[in-house]
Amino acid sequence: MAEKLKLDKSMAMYEEALKLVPGAVAGIRRPYNFVEGEYPIFFDHGKGGRVTDVDGNEYIDFLCAYGPIIIGYREAEIDHAVQEQVNNKGFCFSLTQPQQNQLVHKLKELIPSCEMAALVKTGSDATTIAIRVARACTGKTKIARCGYHGWHDWCVEVKGGIPEKLYEDTLEFHYNDIDALESLLKQHQDDMAAIIITPVGHPLGAAVEMPKPGYLEAVRELADKYHCLLIFDEIRSGFRVALGGAQEYFGVTPDLSTFGKAMANGYAIATLVGKEEYMKVLADQVFLSSTFFPNSDSIVAALKTIEILQRDKVLETVAQKGEKFGRDVQKIIDDSNLPVEFSGAPWMPFVTFKKDDTGLYKKLRVQFYTELIRRKVFLQPYHHGYICYRHTDEDLAYTVNAIKESLDEIKKMV
């Protein structure tokens, strides 16, 4: 068994934060989402594909800030572009700077569904305005949803503080089950405004799913058949699966789509893009405004990030690394004969444990991720990881071996 990490400073800061911030830190970053007492709670810095906590422990980071880090931490070229904008031009004004137009031209060039775009700050902003646009365009109310789409009232899983009337028109269906979706659409065909789906399935705490052959095409056909809009939530898959998102990779074009996370390598920006006939309602029928949406610092970061992604063929390299990593991990899992699954390669790797009636899978999961973090590999027990450009071949080989050692340890529990 690997030695427990020294986390004294992290724990002290956590105790202090409990008196300052509800829950000490925000949402998904709280200790119960990891292994309590084993994972750090505060990071100090990051560089490339690694992060260092406040106690000085350095990790190979596969969470990548929950997805935004597609290239690496502290990318000098991106940071320098932002610093130049801030120092020489400024970034927060009453009116809009020209970089808005430059970025939207680039989005139109790359994303199949993009004829117009609205720039916002977060994925929740983008998915929520997508729903507002769909309802305005169709004059209908109900939404068929599949996947995590943010923390706003219409879609958040935790319903505390939200009146039922604010989400009662959002109806859930399961990924890769086309019959269930059609049944839902048929039942509500007179009032279905949109289908919103993550083109790569990443359900909360469960294995990542790729679309079955023909599945996304069938979803597209159903949206047309029942006269509702198709929205792809590409907050995670955008600028990772392909420059034009999973819609480019899988060859299925939605009416609207949302992008964020990786498009600016960590700077706060997201966007709703779509066909002009639908997006135009934002001009005079649907309200969208925020003090910080037009800020140019993140727009400049997005422009520079996309430039690097194209110039250095970053996504091709990420996919190649992820494919090899996936093959190597899958072989280890196959050889282990343990009730464990690997999914999400090449973009969103995730090690999960098969449920059983006794609850053993929960104990195995906790011990596995305890062993992994003690070996300085930062992955999350309930959320898939990511591969970034700065993960080296050595990082990936080390991680494969750490996974093997961690699985060897939990064999003693079976």
State the pLDDT confidence band at 404, using cuts at 50, 70 and 90.
very high
pLDDT at 124: 98
- Strand 192-197 versus strand 43-47 pairing type: unpaired
pLDDT per residue as tens digits for the range 146-171: 999 999 999 999 999 999 999 999 99
Q: pTM of the prediction?
A: 0.97
pLDDT per residue as tens digits for the range 127-147: 999 999 999 999 999 999 999
Which tokens is 155 given?
A: 């879609």
**Whether pLDDT at 62 is above 90:** yes
> What whole-number distance in Å separates Cα of residue 348 and Cα of residue 262?
13
State the pLDDT confidence band at 204, using cuts at 50, 70 and 90.
confident
pLDDT at 55: 98
pLDDT at 87: 98
Which domains, and CATH codes, for the chain?
Answer: 8-73+314-413 (3.90.1150.10), 76-311 (3.40.640.10)
Phi, psi of 143 (to 5 degrees): -125, 130
Which tokens is 133 given?
A: 């646009």
Q: What average pLDDT does range 350-363 have in this prediction?
A: 95
> What whole-number distance in Å separates Cα of residue 312 and Cα of residue 304?
12
pLDDT per residue as tens digits for the range 312-325: 999 999 999 999 99
Average pLDDT for the chain: 97
Q: Which of 74, 66, 34 is nearest to 14 (CA)?
A: 34
Angle at 400 between CA 243 and CA 404, to 5 degrees: 145
